Every structure is written in structure tokens, then in C-alpha cells.
């Protein structure tokens, strides 16, 4: 009996100790990749605990014996000539790779798009895009910010599940072409701080777009988007016609159009019912009457900014941050002002909305009495 107990205790102890010395297969394969590219790596290293070398930092997340996330930051001067042999880790969902001038010809490795369950890919310090990628790649979020791209990477229209594309901080030039409409599932597009210009074309399902610091000037008549919720467009050349187009997109919640060429707000902009943030500051030629958004069902906008704009009048409770914007110094909008903005310069502007309702009721009663 004592012998059996000893063997039982030894078995339990062995089961508890073995995992400490067991290196998962994913770590072995990742280590081989690192070694093939001329970097040092101890094949007995448990990469799930992180690997820190003079030439790179490797942070890894593991679950149930598989690598699920990799953050690889390379400092060394060796070129990743074997980048197309990156292991196709079965459970890897997130890959972040920063290696300045270390990929052959500065091209983003197409191999990354062969990883079977990759959802998020972030790569920095590349210049060119591959000429072809695996169209079956499940990548949903692609971050290529702060690289040196000069052309929009339309190759990624082949990623049928792509929802987020981040290209901020590059030097992309020229106009968006009709190819952008082929990004059929794209919901977020970040183009801030590039050198783009011309008509703004956006995919049909896009919800968020950041264009800050470019040279866009107009909203394309080809756009069929009715899903846009947030637009960040400061530092462009948008004009009054652009604002007219925005006023037609009912779901829009956040509008940031500082420092553009806007001189007048369309009346219809105040009929939008979902506005939460509204920043039209630094449009120095803009004169505006600011009234409650949302017609009869208005609630105060969470954040407004009118700095550098001539406010002709302001309707109380349009913005929650009234003290911050100095609303007390603005002239109060009269009922006539409000109606002029709401209905435009027509005969109706001399009649208040309430009077219109009374008139309709009176006409209905008169018609009913004739029946």
C-alpha cells in the first residue's frame, strides 16, 4: 500500500512539473523562424513568458498550449530575408510587427495573410505593399500607420472581412479612386496626416472616417453611404456643398470640420437627430445661427466648438458645454431666427411652428364642417 501511495504521489508531482519543462510547438516554430533570419534564440525558451534580446523584444500571449498574440519589435540590423517562412500558427489572432527597413525591398510580407485565423495585423516600417495576397485571409483590422507609403493600397480590397484600415501618418498622395467602393465591409478608415486631395469617395458601409490634415475638397456624387456616424475632417478644403451632403446622412453623430472653407451652414444640418459632437471652429469666414439640433426632439449636444466663427445668434441648450464655449456672450436667437434656420427664407418664416400647427388644425375643422 505504501509503495502504491509513493507511486501516486510521484505521478502527481510529475504531472505538475512536466508542463514547466514542456515547450509548446508554436514556440519552437517561432524560434526557428527567428534563427533562420540570423537572430539569436534559445530553442529551450518558453516564448509565452516573453523574450528580450539586445536585438529584439518579443511579447507573446499563449492560451491552451497555442500562441494567440505576438508583438515583435526588432532593433537589430539584419534583414528578414526569410519573412515568407513565418510560421502559420493555427490560433494566432493578433500580430504586431515593427522592423525598420528589415523586410526585403521594404515590402509587407504576403505570408502574414496566410495565417489561418489572423484577425488583427499591425506592421510598421514598410514602404510597399505585396502584389497579391490570400483573398481568404480572415483579417478584419489592418494597421499600417506611420509607414512611408505614397499610394493608397487598393490591394486590400481583396480582404472580404476587412472592417478597419488605418493608414494615418503616411505620405499617400492623389485622389481616392472608385476602387475604394470595392472595400465592401469596411467600417473605419483612418487617412489622417497624408497628402490626399480631391473628391472624397467612401464605401457604402463606412461608419468612421478620419481625414484630418489632407487636402480633400468635396463629397463625391457617387457616394451611396447612409451609414456614416463620425467624420473628422479638419485641415482640408471642404466647403458649403460638403456640409449640405453631411446634413443628408441621418446616423451621423460626430462632425469635426475645423479649419476648412465653410462660410455657411445648411439649414438641414440642424434637423439631424443624433448629433453628439459638433466642431466647426477655425472656419474664419463662417457666419452661423446656431439652433437646437433634432427639430422637436432635440437634446443638447455633448460637445460644441465655435472658436473663430462668427455666431450671429445661439439658441439656449443647443450644447451641453455652454459655459466652455462662452454661450452667454452670444446673442439669443429669436423665434424668427429659429424659424428662418428651420424653414429657410420663405413665407413660412413669418409664422411660428406653433402657428402652423394651429393653422392646420383650423383648416381640418373647416373641411370637416363642409362634409
pLDDT tens for 109-147 read 999 999 999 999 999 888 899 999 999 999 999 999 999
pLDDT the model gives residue 365: 52
Distance CA 371, CA 359 (A): 19
pLDDT the model gives residue 295: 78
Q: Where are the domains of the chain?
A: 33-139
pLDDT the model gives residue 349: 41
Question: Residue 199 corresponds to which cell in the numbers above?
Answer: 473628391
Residue 151 near residue 126, CB atoms below 8 Å: no
pLDDT the model gives residue 195: 98
Distance CA 141, CA 133 (A): 15
Which sign, positive or negative, has the C-alpha torsion 225, 231, 234, 235?
negative
pLDDT the model gives residue 345: 67
Burial of 205 (0-12, 13-18, 19+ CB in 10 A): middle
Residue 257 near residue 235, CB atoms below 8 Å: no
Give residues with Cβ within 8 angstroms of 191, minimum separation 6.
167, 168, 172, 209, 210, 211, 214
Among the listed residues 338, 340, 230, the one whose alpha carbon sits nearest the alpha carbon of residue 291: 338
Residue 291 near residue 266, CB atoms below 8 Å: no
pLDDT the model gives residue 296: 72
Burial of 120 (0-12, 13-18, 19+ CB in 10 A): middle
pLDDT the model gives residue 3: 45
84 Rama class: left (phi>0) / alpha (psi -120 to 50) / beta:
alpha
Q: In the chain, which residues have pLDDT < 70?
A: 1-22, 297, 345-371
pLDDT the model gives residue 16: 42
pTM value is: 0.87
The residue whose grid cell reads 480590397 is: 157
pLDDT the model gives residue 155: 98
pLDDT digits (tens, 9 = 90+) for 13-58: 444 433 444 689 999 999 999 999 999 999 899 999 999 999 999 9
Amino acid at each position: 500500500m505504501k509503495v502504491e501511495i509513493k507511486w501516486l504521489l510521484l505521478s502527481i508531482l510529475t504531472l505538475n512539473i512536466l508542463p514547466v519543462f514542456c515547450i509548446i510547438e508554436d514556440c519552437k516554430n517561432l524560434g526557428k523562424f527567428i534563427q533562420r533570419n540570423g537572430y539569436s534564440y534559445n530553442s529551450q525558451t518558453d516564448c509565452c513568458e516573453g523574450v528580450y534580446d539586445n536585438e529584439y523584444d518579443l511579447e507573446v500571449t499563449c492560451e491552451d498550449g497555442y500562441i494567440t498574440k505576438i508583438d515583435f519589435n526588432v532593433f537589430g540590423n539584419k534583414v528578414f530575408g526569410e519573412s515568407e517562412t513565418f510560421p502559420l500558427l493555427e490560433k494566432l489572432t493578433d500580430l504586431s510587427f515593427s522592423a525598420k527597413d528589415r523586410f526585403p525591398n521594404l515590402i509587407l510580407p504576403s505570408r502574414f495573410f496566410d495565417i489561418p485565423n489572423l484577425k488583427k495585423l499591425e506592421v510598421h516600417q514598410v514602404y510597399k505593399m505585396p502584389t497579391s495576397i490570400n483573398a481568404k485571409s480572415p483579417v478584419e483590422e489592418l494597421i499600417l500607420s506611420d509607414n512611408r507609403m505614397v499610394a493608397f493600397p487598393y490591394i486590400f480590397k481583396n480582404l472580404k472581412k476587412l472592417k478597419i484600415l488605418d493608414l494615418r501618418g503616411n505620405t499617400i498622395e492623389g485622389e481616392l479612386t472608385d476602387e475604394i467602393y470595392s472595400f465592401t465591409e469596411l467600417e473605419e478608415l483612418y487617412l489622417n496626416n497624408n497628402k490626399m486631395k480631391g473628391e472624397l469617395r467612401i464605401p457604402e458601409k463606412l461608419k468612421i472616417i478620419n481625414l484630418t490634415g489632407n487636402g480633400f475638397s468635396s463629397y463625391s456624387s457617387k457616394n451611396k453611404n447612409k451609414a456614416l456616424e463620425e467624420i473628422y475632417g479638419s485641415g482640408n478644403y471642404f466647403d458649403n456643398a460638403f456640409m449640405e451632403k453631411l446634413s443628408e446622412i441621418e446616423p451621423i453623430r460626430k462632425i469635426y470640420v475645423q479649419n476648412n472653407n465653410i462660410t455657411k451652414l445648411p439649414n438641414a444640418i440642424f434637423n439631424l437627430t443624433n448629433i453628439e459632437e459638433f466642431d466647426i471652429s477655425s472656419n474664419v469666414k463662417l457666419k452661423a445661427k446656431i439652433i437646437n439640433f433634432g427639430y422637436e426632439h432635440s437634446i443638447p449636444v455633448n460637445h460644441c466648438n465655435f472658436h473663430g466663427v462668427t455666431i450671429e445668434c445661439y439658441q439656449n441648450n443647443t450644447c451641453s458645454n455652454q459655459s466652455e464655449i462662452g454661450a452667454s456672450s452670444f446673442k439669443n436667437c429669436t423665434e424668427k431666427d429659429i424659424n428662418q434656420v428651420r424653414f429657410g427664407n420663405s413665407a413660412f418664416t413669418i409664422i411660428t411652428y406653433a402657428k402652423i400647427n394651429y393653422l392646420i388644425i383650423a383648416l381640418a375643422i373647416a373641411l370637416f364642417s363642409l362634409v
